[in-house]
Amino acid sequence: MAMSVKNEKLNKWIREVADMCQPESVYVCNGTKEEYDLMMAKMIAGGSATPLKKRPGSYLFRSDPSDVARVEDRTYISTSSREEAGPTNNWVNPTELKETMKGLYKGCMKGRTMYVIPFSMGPIGSPISKIGVEISDSPYVVCNMHIMTRVSSRVMELLDAGEDFIPCLHSIGAPLAPGQEDVQWPCAPIESKYISHFPEENLIWSYGSGYGGNALLGKKCLALRIASAMARREGWMAEHMLILRLTNPEGKQYHIAAAFPSACGKTNLAMMRPTIQGWKCECIGDDIAWMKIGPDGRLYAINPENGFFGVAPGTSYDTNPMAMDTVRENVIFTNCALTDDGDVWWEGMTDEVPPHLIDWKGRDWTPHSREDAAHANARFTAPASQCPVICKDWENPNGVPIDIFIFGGRRNSVVPLVFEAYDWDHGVFLGATAASETTSANIGAVGNLRRDPFAMTPFCGYNMGDYFRHWLDMGDRLGKNAPRIFYVNWFRKSPEGMFLWPGFSDNSRVLKWMCERIDGRVEAQKTPIGFLPAEGDLDLAGLDISPEIMKELMRIDTDAWAAEIPDIRAHFAKFGNRLPERLAVQLEALRRRLE
């Protein structure tokens, strides 16, 4: 099979990997529906996929309970010096890491098929797209890659014609001895999992996990970690951002890119149905934005992905009806619960809880069970084209011009609903100091506050201090064309622990204010932390919310903000002399304004 590959670098790499991993056979994927169906049929026969009677063309998978999310502790940026990877990344020198991993890769595909998956991030053949080839021994990965990226023989034709590619090697790390029976979700124990990146040579090596970003290497590994390093070298941006188009009642379009950490509502915002009269929202992407300065000097964004890998729990016809309609058919569900009539279910999907389910671990479940029926990081993998509000320009190779950047995260206190940066440098400061409570998207403690600059902590493929500088450089290049920068917090709580803001569709009210700001239609209040909406400027028509609650949502507790200063100082200190002076200046200015 591999012999029909004409790209020499690819051919050589396939042979090397096959020699090292010793698979039973090698199969080159073509991305067709037949291939997908055949692969699924095998996984159904093997017992790992459950077809869902209630959802055409859809399947449920249950992972090993140890393999349920990204593993940040086992994720490496392997640059020639530790300094290049910076203080926010795990680092091992490339020679040592490759030796360790070669030891693990040796014979790791025994008894399995080695799949070669040619894929494109971004529309095939577009000048901004990048080609990757993932080698994986997981048919589950092949099917997910079919949805999340563009897998196609057309990509192979480009490779045959000599196009370069980013090699992405993946193994679940579970060889089969002759006659050994396979398990439902083969993977390696946590201590031998490695998600490794070699940004200086555009190379990805992943071992031991079959879940999400650990295994679908086009997403976080290629489109963020490797791409962010390429973007710095080449003068563009690869960001952990949703992209949406908002249209006002007069038909004027605004394009917004927003960076929130994993499982903080990017998918919900990207597909939102505005509650404000006459406004329309369309989705372009829900997770990743690649942005370049266009010929007119503005910043243009594309979504490099082809599907959504969204968090299932909490998704419902109330919170995200467009996502619910997106996942009606042709979807892969992972770690959701199974209903008795052959559908999936998860916490928050319906008001009524089914009387009986099979939980994500495959056990009988009733409302009296102590654990959740679906895992908190259960996911759907769905084609973006199925989203009812997908924007007609979502595959436009020229991208869409970004007007607004939003940063934010989960903060149960301190941070108001919305505020605007004074200028670009202040906006970069807001991005660089963004903080959020941790979620189940990563293995580890949930609910701890951490600084997560630009929501890129787990995804920046080089020294984060240099990344801050790259943002400042981009602003200098964009000048007056730079998007305006805002900060939001949908998650502020009352002392009793209730969310103060309804969120979801009502977030459109906040976006509307941003659009009015950039159009110069509304004045704002200047405060020590930034510009806040002036009283009455946030459109609350039809919303049942008391003035007291609005006041609490917008309240700036100067003491609490002052208490952030030492924490930000410690956060900045980690970057040593890589921290741009302009950010230190911003911190000092904030301190003075709070005095």
Q: Which residues are catalytic?
A: 264
Please identify, using beta-carbon distances, which residue of 130 and 426 lies nearer to ligand SAT: 130
- Tell me, by CB under 6 A, how many residues bind ligand SAT: 8
Kindly state the smallest distance separating residue 219's Cβ from ligand SAT, in Å.
Answer: 5
Cα–Cα–Cα angle for 144, 150, 152, nearest 5°? 105
Which of 75, 88, 209, 262 binds Mn ion (CB under 5 A)? It is 262
Residue 181-220 contact track with ligand SAT, rule CB under 6 A, x = bound: -------------------------------xx-----xx
- C-alpha torsion angle, residues 177, 181, 184, 185 (rounded to 10): -10
Considering the complex, state which of residue 220 and residue 410 has its C-beta at the smaller distance from ligand SAT.
220
Nearest approach, Cβ of 458 to ligand SAT (angstroms)? 8
Element (H, E) at 386: none
Instruction: Choose which of 121, 441, 568, 587 interacts with ligand SAT (CB under 6 A).
Output: 441
Residue pair 115/139 in contact (Cβ under 8 Å)? The answer is yes
**Assigned token pair, 468:** 């801050």
Q: Which does 441 bind (CB under 5 to 8 A by kind): Mn ion, ligand SAT, none?
A: ligand SAT
The only residue of 194, 236, 254, 309 in contact with ligand SAT, by rule CB under 6 A:
309
* Distinct helix (H) and strand (E) counts, the chain: 16, 31
Nearer to Mn ion, 282 or 287 (CB): 287
CA pair distance 130, 166, nearest whole angstrom: 8
Residues 61-90: x/- map of binding to ligand SAT (CB under 6 A)?
A: ---------x--------------------
Instruction: State which residue, 52 or 270, has the beta carbon closest to Mn ion.
Output: 270
The Cα–Cα gap between 58 and 320 comes to: 20
Q: How far apart are CA 522 and CA 532, in angstroms?
A: 11
Helix ranges restricted to H, 73-138 = 82-85, 94-105
Least distance in angstroms from the C-beta of 214 to ligand SAT:
7
Contact 36, 158 (CB under 8 A): no
Q: Which of ligand SAT, Mn ion, none does residue 31 bind to, with CB < 5 to 8 Å depending on kind?
A: none
Distant-in-sequence contacts of 560-564, Cβ < 8 A, 24+ apart: 560/413, 560/414, 561/414, 561/528, 561/529, 561/590, 561/594, 562/591, 562/594, 564/414, 564/433
Taking CB under 5 A as the rule, which mask of x and - marks residues 210-249 in contact with Mn ion?
----------------------------------------
Binding to ligand SAT in span 488-507, by CB under 6 A: none
Q: Whose Cβ is closer to Mn ion: residue 152's or residue 214's? A: 214
Contact partner at residue 470 from ligand SAT, Mn ion, none, CB < 5 to 8 Å by partner kind: none
* CB contact at 8 A, 328 and 315: no
Strands (E), 93-181: 113-121, 130-136, 150-151, 166-171
Question: At residue 140, what is the residue type?
Answer: Y
Residue 305 · residue 219 · CB < 8 Å = yes
Contacts to ligand SAT from residues 219-248, by CB under 6 A: 219-220
User: What is the distance between the alpha carbons of residues 57 and 51, in angstroms, rounded to a whole number?
Assistant: 8
- 171 contacts which partner out of Mn ion, ligand SAT, none, CB within 5 to 8 A by kind? none
- Strands (DSSP E) contained in 366-523 are 379-383, 400-401, 404-408, 418-420, 435-437, 449-451, 484-488
Cβ atoms of 212 and 70 within 8 Å: the answer is: yes
Q: How far apart are CA 517 and CA 298, in angstroms?
A: 18
In whole angstroms, the minimum distance from the beta carbon of 213 to ligand SAT comes to 2
Measured from the CB atom, the residue of 375 and 509 that comes closer to ligand SAT is 375
In the stretch 260-299, what mask flags binding to ligand SAT with x, by CB under 6 A?
--x-------------------------------------
**What is the smallest separation between the CB atom of 220 and ligand SAT, expressed in angstroms?**
5
**Token output for 265:** 């509502």
Residue 360 beta carbon to ligand SAT: minimum distance, rounded to whole angstroms: 16
In 278-414, the DSSP E strands lie at 280-285, 289-293, 299-302, 307-311, 332-334, 337-339, 344-345, 357-358, 364-365, 379-383, 400-401, 404-408
396: left (phi over 0), alpha (psi -120 to 50) or beta: beta
Q: Which is nearer to ligand SAT, 21 or 241 (CB)?
A: 241
For ligand SAT, the closer CB: 165 or 260? 260
70 binds, among Mn ion, ligand SAT, none (CB under 5 to 8 A by kind): ligand SAT
* CA distance to 421, 547, 594, per residue, from 531 (Å): 6, 20, 14
Longest dimension (CA), the chain: 73
Count of chain residues binding Mn ion (CB under 5 A)? 2
Q: How far is the CB of 379 from ligand SAT (least distance, A)?
A: 7
Would you count residue 48 as binding ligand SAT (CB under 6 A)? Answer: no
**Contact of residue 309 among Mn ion, ligand SAT, none (CB under 5-8 Å per partner type):** ligand SAT
Length of the chain (residues): 595
219 binds, among ligand SAT, Mn ion, none (CB under 5 to 8 A by kind): ligand SAT
Segment contacting Mn ion by CB under 5 A, of 65-73, 123-131, 258-266, 415-423 = 258-266
CA quadruple 51, 52, 57, 61: dihedral positive or negative? negative
Closer to ligand SAT by Cβ: residue 70 or 426: 70
Site mask for Mn ion (CB under 5 A), range 272-301, x = bound: ---------------x--------------
Q: Is 237 buried (19+), middle (13-18) or exposed (0-12) by CB count in 10 A?
A: buried
* Closer of 265 and 483 to Mn ion (Cβ): 265
Binding positions for ligand SAT, rule: CB under 6 A: 70, 212-213, 219-220, 262, 309, 441
Q: Where on the chain is the footprint of Mn ion (CB under 5 A)?
A: 262, 287
